[in-house]
Structure 1
Amino acid sequence: MSPQRGPRRQPFAKCRGARQSAPDPCRAGHQGLVEPLGFPRSSLRRKDEAIAAITEAGGFGAFALLHDTFHHHLSDEAVLYPHRTGLVHISGVIDPDLPLAKIEDEHRQLLDGRDILGNIDQIRALLADGYDGPFSFEPFSPLTHAIPNIEAALRASMGYVQRALARDAS
């Protein structure tokens, strides 16, 4: 489940009525993931708002947070909630001159040492605090989509993350 993202922010409380018509994912053997979008104009910007909505909708048996490193950085939220998280999306932004207010989905690339979002710090903190779920890349940048050998680029990005985390562990 992703919140609305529009020209102006609509409080998430006004969107909560949709949960009444949504099926319970547990009945189908699934867990719903709720992804706060860190954009100021998002109807659900922060994980604390998502936790309140999940609790109101029936709790964490049916739903979990989707922690997105990009949106976490944009929301300027400090708390990670690793025990409430079911999936982590990873993407990096590499332009150090890009103001926070101008960062958009099309700036999201594969992760490397030029990242300005603090991905490695977020991943390290999630793992240290008990997160043991999956990670996945979510780069939307047309530059990433145009890479001729995407498999090699993905392997390089995964290698970077593994090396950075191993270096920190030693």
Structure 2
Amino acid sequence: MAIDPTRFCVNRKIAPALSIEEFFQLVNKLGLHKVELRNDMKGGSVTDDLSHQQVRALAEQYGLEIVTINAVYPFNQVSDDLLARAEGLLKDAHGIGAKALVLCPLNDGTPIPAETTQAAIAQLAPLFAKYGIEGLVEPLGFPVSSLRSARLAQQLINNAGAPFKIVLDTFHHHLYEGAEQDFTDGVDINQIGLVHLSGVTDSRPTSDLTDEERLMLSEGELLKSVWQVQRLEKLGYKGVYAFEPFASEMDSWTAADIEREIRRSIELLQA
């Protein structure tokens, strides 16, 4: 399976100990050209202590496209505070030249009706249009998530009349017991805007897995992320694959560790 290297992206979650410039340098050294930034890093903001223009200039200097900012949460529990935070992140995205902003559903065990999630998408869509930013809804597979299904997420987006797409995450696909039925029933490949990749080797029950178990790809990892990518490729997916591990052990990873793990993951995908 040969995937054009320009389709690979690196999420900043893999590099919690690196500054934005050090992260950009690393991605550039790998010969990659796409990154995702986040609003949940230790610095507390998307740009750390840099201005929008400084981040834009660094991305240009290192030949990088900022694919997304992660994330608006919980997007399907709309309030004045949520709308203000969403607009703040949209301003960040517009300011740094990011293409899209990820939307994550409530994930604390509180059920939210599908109609409420659909209404939230419809309410947020004009705000995204105002700033020219694409919305990417990411179903979370955790048992406590209020939106677990990729197919349902696509249906709600379509019903809301929003120009949003979804994020398909190989970890969350593994966690959601109905994910394979989603594909049988017809997940629209053309409505997948981004795919997140990670790997898990921990053998505890699937329902007990957390972000803490998410590392990079490896031989025999339990998410079968390589197989998931192979299927997406066969179905005609032409979009971006972003590496998004979460485990806290990455706090101690050096730039050399990160580079090694990304290269190994790409080798597995290109085998």
Q: TM-score band, normalised by the shorter chain? A: 0.7 to 0.9
TM-score by length of 2: 0.55
2:238 aligns with 132
Alignment of 1:16-165 (within 5 A): 16-24=118-126, 25-59=128-162, 62-76=163-177, 77-78=179-180, 79=183, 80-95=187-202, 97-148=203-254, 149-163=257-271
1:168 aligns with none
The runs of 5 or more residues in structure 2 that have no matched partner are: 1-102
| Residue type of the alignment partner of 1:19 | I
CA distance in 2, matches of 1:20, 1:92: 33
Q: Does the 8 A contact of 1:68 with 1:89 survive in 2?
A: yes
The runs of 5 or more residues in structure 1 that have no matched partner are: 164-170
1:90 Cα deviation (Å)? 0.2
1:50 Cα deviation (Å)? 0.4
1:68 Cα deviation (Å)? 0.4
Correspondence for 1:7 among 78, 97, 109: 109
User: RMSD value over aligned CA atoms?
Assistant: 1.8
User: Residues 5-43 of structure 1: CA distance to partner in whole angstroms, max 9, x if unpaired?
Assistant: 003433333333333442433453332111111112111
Aligned length: 160
Q: Does the 8 A contact of 1:87 with 1:135 survive in 2?
A: yes
- Once structures 1 and 2 are overlaid, which stretch shifts more, 29-38 or 125-134? 29-38
CA distance in 2, matches of 1:27, 1:142: 36
Q: Does the 8 A contact of 2:119 with 2:160 survive in 1?
A: no
| Residue type of the alignment partner of 2:169 | D
TM-score by length of 1: 0.85
Q: Does the 8 A contact of 1:89 with 1:136 survive in 2?
A: yes
- Once structures 1 and 2 are overlaid, which stretch shifts more, 112-121 or 123-132? 112-121
The 3-state SS of whatever aligns with 1:89 is strand
- Once structures 1 and 2 are overlaid, which stretch shifts more, 153-162 or 35-44? 153-162
User: Larger radius of gyration, structure 1 or 2?
Assistant: 2
Change (3 A) 1:119 1:8: same
1:147 Cα deviation (Å)? 2.1
% identical equivalent positions: 36
Q: Does the 8 A contact of 1:11 with 1:44 survive in 2?
A: no
Q: Does the 8 A contact of 2:196 with 2:244 survive in 1?
A: yes
The 3-state SS of whatever aligns with 2:117 is helix
1:141 Cα deviation (Å)? 0.5
User: Residues 112-148 of structure 1: CA distance to partner in whole angstroms, max 9, x if unpaired?
Assistant: 1131011111100101111000000110001234222
Displaced runs of 4 or more, over 6 A: none
| Residue type of the alignment partner of 1:74 | L
